[in-house]
Amino acid sequence: MFTHIPTIRPETPLLDGINLPTDLRRLANIQLPELAEQLRAFLLYSVGQTGGHFGAGLGVVELTIALHYLLNTPDDHIVWDVGHQCYPHKILTGRREQMLSIRQKGGLAPFPRRDESPYDAFGTGHSSTSISAALGMAVADQLNGKNTKTVAIIGDGALTAGMAFEALNHAAHTNANILVVLNDNDMSISRNEGGLATYLAKNLKLTKGSRSETTAALFEALAFEYQGPIDGHDFDALLPALTSALSKSGPQFLHIVTKKGKGFQPAETDPVGYHALTKLEPINAPQKKKQPTFANNFGRWLLHTAQQDKKLIGITPAMREGSDLIAFSEAFPERYFDVAIAEQHALTFAAGLACAGAKPVVAIYSTFLQRAYDQLIHDIAIQSLDVLLAVDRAGLVGEDGATHAGCFDIAAMRCIPGLVIMTPADEQEQWLMLNTGYHYPGPAAVRYPRGSGTCPAAPDGSDEALLTETVPIGKGRLLSTGDSGTAVLNFGPLLSDARKLAEQEQHTLVDMRFVKPLDTELLSILMKTHQRFITMEDHAIQGGAGSAVAEFVTQSGWNGTLKMLGIPDQWIEHASRAEQLKQCLIR
């Protein structure tokens, strides 16, 4: 058992001899535990150097070795769900020496990527896609006469999503050669929530090492052949179970039990805290002061508002820590709902709550809101329901890269009639806009970015007015008037860059605050005195806030010019958020 993260590269002679899975397949069974030990040591060291997803990878070291040992990868397909557990897989498939570049600009991607390696069968980042994708591969191979195996590895958290069940429902009624491995560690990022998690955990306790008839019944009812639960850290259990499942044709299900953070004592004890790591700083490095984030500010706002209004209900689809509902969930457990990885359900559940007079607030990452687009339109907006969306991680998110970037929410939302969309420039504005959205009697969204902004000291109680203050719907703020004939129109957290630009060039500076309703009155005034607008947003240019301005000024017959700054029409790869912003916006 490791107790701390090595800062010097450990000696891993057996692992060093494995450049590809073919090298692994030359080992004897009895060497595999030693390889697992060395793989863990290297993983601890490399993630310590780079930061990144941590606990999930430690939990699948044996499974990863066993799969590459038994399968003929890359012809056989391994499909990882979410992909945050893929570091051991990357290390065994020719990328060991590149691991120190993971998540950095130009380095290895944080998740599996088809264009990075033939061993990465399917690109991921969002959860619960593995069974569908694996089924597609298995069916296509079968139709093409290829006798391959396809394995989907899905966690107990990812299995809570409807999409996973849609795929199970379909797969079971094909004769595809697909094996679904359920990696059950009884954890999502937080504790795994819901009836399924409780059912699996309860059955496991009763099973005591033998086959679980009750769990089997669930998957066999869907026409899978079920094996399990088995100890996913024990090669003596894992190898025969996998061999047996892979030797059969048709849909197979193997239930393995693992420990998140396995082999590293602090992560086994605190799997939530060790879901992901920031990189280790050298011992003598000056301590960085941790600034509160926009998410922390939202958490304070939620707690404060819940204290004032009993009707408030807080909802998260499995991101309690990330979206910071921690204090609220502890203070108001009966009004807190972690609905598991179920973004679609989160929104329609909120719609139902609103129908019955509650005041739901859904905290949701922009990238995961993509999952719930129809629910936003059909269940919330058409019925003008009073639901507030706190759209977190909006804009570029840095090291998680393109899969997690929240670049599309404005474009997706601004065509929805009646939806109010706000873009706070800093934390104080975020607080005011959350108040505004909360008191607005219809659907509203406040989008804010990952990390901290320029005004971290949002209401602390000393400014009572600010605690309850709202802003006028659809009104921007004229911050300064310049004489260059150009106005910079800011939407969101890049206000300090917008200000710099305005000051350097004597431009007028406006913080537009609302994407919808757009402040067309203010724009009409500015159009009379300015010949050029520059819009600025942390969002895709196509369809974003600048496009909303473009639509208005074009229809108004303005003959000025418009420059739109934002995220260009390309995927922005993993890098620090500052590097990404520099690449996109500050040209």
Ligand X SMILES: CC(=O)[C@@H](O)[C@H](O)COP(=O)(O)O
Residues annotated as part of the active site: 260, 343, 371
Of 219 and 558, the one with the shorter C-beta distance to ligand TPP is: 219
DSSP 230: E
For residue 203, say whether it is annotated as part of any ligand binding site.
Answer: no
Q: Tell me, residue by residue from 258 to 297, as one string, x for binding to ligand X by CB under 6 A and - for no binding.
A: ------------------x---------------------
CB of residue 134 to ligand X, shortest distance in Å: 19
Q: Tell me, residue by residue from 312 to 351, as one string, x for binding to ligand X by CB under 6 A and - for no binding.
A: ----------x-----------------------------
Which of 77, 84, 89, 233 binds ligand X (CB under 6 A)? It is 84
Tell me which residue has tokens 């998740």: 111
Question: Are the beta carbons of 342 and 371 closer than 8 angstroms?
Answer: no
Distance of CA 119 to the CA centre of its chain: 23
- # binding residues, ligand X (CB under 6 A): 10
Taking CB atoms, the residue at the shortest distance from ligand X is 322
CB of residue 95 to ligand X, shortest distance in Å: 19
Which of 82, 200, 372, 565 binds ligand X (CB under 6 A)? It is 82
Q: At what angle do helices 32-50 and 235-247 cross, to 10 degrees?
A: 100
List interacting residues with ligand TPP (CB under 6 A): 56, 59, 82, 84-85, 126-127, 155-158, 183, 185, 187-189, 260, 318, 341, 368, 371
* Burial (0-12, 13-18, 19+ Cβ within 10 Å), 383: middle
**Residues near 228 by Cβ (< 8 Å), separated by ≥ 6?**
182, 211, 212, 215, 216, 241, 253, 254, 255, 256, 257
CB of residue 198 to Mg ion, shortest distance in Å: 14
Can you tell me the distance from the alpha carbon of 266 to that of 3, in angstroms, rounded to the nearest whole number?
Answer: 7
Residues between 151 and 170 with contacts to Mg ion, criterion CB under 5 A: 155-157
Can you tell me the distance from the alpha carbon of 204 to that of 215, in angstroms, rounded to the nearest whole number?
Answer: 8
Partner in contact with 345, chosen from Mg ion, ligand TPP, ligand X, none, beta carbon below 5 to 8 Å by kind: none
Can you tell me the distance from the alpha carbon of 220 to that of 212, in angstroms, rounded to the nearest whole number?
Answer: 12
Residues between 442 and 461 with contacts to ligand X, criterion CB under 6 A: 450
**Residues near 319 by Cβ (< 8 Å), separated by ≥ 6?**
189, 363, 364, 365, 368, 392
Tokens encoding 245: 């499942």
Residue 469 main-chain phi, psi, to 5 deg? -60, 145
Residue 95 main-chain phi, psi, to 5 deg? -120, 15
φ/ψ region of 150 (left if φ > 0, alpha if ψ in -120 to 50, else beta) reads: beta
Helix (H, G, I), strand (E, B) or coil at 534: strand
81 binds Mg ion (CB under 5 A): no
CB of residue 265 to ligand TPP, shortest distance in Å: 18
Q: Tell me, residue by residue from 184 to 203, as one string, x for binding to Mg ion by CB under 5 A and - for no binding.
A: -x-x----------------
| Ordered alpha helix ranges (H), 156-257 | 162-171, 195-207, 213-221, 235-247
Partner in contact with 368, chosen from ligand TPP, ligand X, Mg ion, none, beta carbon below 5 to 8 Å by kind: ligand TPP
Q: Tell me, residue by residue from 358 to 397, as one string, x for binding to ligand X by CB under 6 A and - for no binding.
A: -----------------------------------x---x
Partner in contact with 276, chosen from ligand X, ligand TPP, Mg ion, none, beta carbon below 5 to 8 Å by kind: ligand X
Which residues are paired to 357 by β-bridges? none
Residue 456 main-chain phi, psi, to 5 deg? -65, -25
For residue 404, say whether it is annotated as part of any ligand binding site.
Answer: no
Taking CB atoms, the residue at the shortest distance from Mg ion is 155
Tokens encoding 366: 């922009």
Q: Residue 243: how many CB atoms within 10 A of its CB?
A: 12
CB of residue 243 to ligand TPP, shortest distance in Å: 24
For residue 193, say whether it is annotated as part of any ligand binding site.
Answer: no
Counting every residue, how long is the chain?
587
For residue 53, say whether it is annotated as part of any ligand binding site.
Answer: no
For residue 127, say whether it is annotated as part of any ligand binding site.
Answer: yes
Partner in contact with 85, chosen from ligand TPP, ligand X, Mg ion, none, beta carbon below 5 to 8 Å by kind: ligand TPP
Residues between 156 and 215 with contacts to ligand X, criterion CB under 6 A: 189
Binding site for Mg(2+), by residue number, is 156, 185
> Which residues contribute to the site for ligand X (CB under 6 A)?
82, 84, 189, 276, 322, 393, 397, 400, 404, 450
